[in-house]
Amino acid sequence: MDTVIIAIDGQASTGKSTQAKKLAENLKYDYRDSGAYYRAITLYFLDNNIKFDLNITDKILHKINIKQTYEEGQFRIYLNDYDVTDKIRGHKVSLNVSNFAKKKEIRKFVFNQLRKSSESNSLVVDGRDIGTVVFPNADFKFFLVGKPKIRAERRHKQINDDSVKVDIIEEEIKQRDKTDSTREIAPLKKAVDAFKIDVSNLTINEVFNKILQKIKSD
Ligand code: DC
């Protein structure tokens, strides 16, 4: 069966997953959140006290089973059969995930999971390297960017925790952009054939309409 792949990459907190979910629902495709894989793996490693500078072997990775579902507008992620949908968005995971996402063994693990999903389903996938590395032949590619301050404010609202200050989040976002775009393997960068959208001054619906328009016009 011919499957269609839509890649939505971009900086942290630009609304990639919001857009990808809306699109998946609109087109009746499956949805995969690649960042959620890295987050769930990070949670597993933190919970088991496995440091990121340790040698990550296949033996360790084989103990990790991740399942993603997207039904009736609800995304859920299971780590070894536990629902970790909310836990992976916590501050501790956010702070550590870039370090784990740098590791080549972990990237290979996520790469394989995503490729396998695409064999039988049309997918909308969001992440950092979907259009460049995981699915370089994706049918459509989008790259979302935004001003750090605006992204921090949006993330702050999402976290809904007043003890976490906006400027701290902004610094962390900048740091995360830097780690993601300067890492050796699969750095965050726009695929040459990706359509770039600056979301700083756009609403969710405005970004979505741009994406849909682009898909329909191609
Ligand atoms: O999109 P997010 O914030 O949930 O992503 C979590 C982390 O995972 C982020 O630091 C970058 C990393 N990531 C990645 O390296 N490659 C991807 N395809 C997706 C996410």
CB atoms within 10 A of CB 112: 12
Helix (H) or strand (E) holding 214: helix 204-217
Structural domain count, the chain: 1
Tell me how far the alpha carbon of residue 126 lies from the centroid of ligand 1, in angstroms. Answer: 9
Per the domain annotation, does 217 fall within a domain? Answer: no
Residues 6+ apart with CB under 8 A from 34: 110, 114, 125, 126, 127, 128, 130, 134
Is the Cβ atom of 131 under 6 angstroms away from ligand 1?
no
Per the domain annotation, does 141 fall within a domain? Answer: yes
Positive or negative, the CA dihedral 208, 212, 213, 218 is positive
Query: For ligand 1, atom 1, which residue shows the shortest CA distance?
Result: 35
Residues 6+ apart with CB under 8 A from 14: 144, 145, 146, 151, 199
Query: For ligand 1, atom 8, which residue shows the shortest CA distance?
Result: 35
pLDDT score for 30: 94
pLDDT score for 35: 94
Residue 196 φ/ψ, nearest 5 degrees? -90, 135
pLDDT score for 180: 84
Is the Cβ atom of 129 under 6 angstroms away from ligand 1?
yes
Per the domain annotation, does 60 fall within a domain? Answer: yes
Query: For ligand 1, atom 18, which residue shows the shortest CA distance?
Result: 127
Q: Of 143, 132, 146, whose CA–CA distance to 14 is shortest?
A: 146
Query: For ligand 1, atom 16, which residue shows the shortest CA distance?
Result: 128
Q: What is the mean pLDDT of each successive set of 10 residues along the chain, which is 218 residues long?
A: 92 94 95 96 95 81 94 92 95 89 92 93 95 97 97 88 90 89 89 98 97 94
Per the domain annotation, does 28 fall within a domain? Answer: yes
Q: CB of 118 within 8 A of CB of 2?
A: no
pLDDT score for 1: 63
pLDDT score for 185: 86
Per the domain annotation, does 98 fall within a domain? Answer: yes
Is the Cβ atom of 39 under 6 angstroms away from ligand 1?
yes
Per the domain annotation, does 193 fall within a domain? Answer: yes
Q: Of 144, 135, 145, 112, whose CA–CA distance to 37 is shortest?
A: 112
* CA-102 nearest atom, ligand 1: 15
* CA-179 nearest atom, ligand 1: 10
Tell me how far the alpha carbon of residue 36 lies from the centroid of ligand 1, in angstroms. Answer: 7
Query: For ligand 1, atom 14, which residue shows the shortest CA distance?
Result: 128
Pocket test for ligand 1, best of 180, 182, 188, 199 (most atoms within 8 A of CB): 180
CATH number for the domain spanning 204: value is 3.40.50.300
Question: Which residue range(s) make up the domain with 166?
Answer: 5-212
Per the domain annotation, does 218 fall within a domain? Answer: no
Q: CB of 215 within 8 A of CB of 33?
A: no
Sheet of strand 66-71: strand arrangement: 66-71, 74-79, 82-83
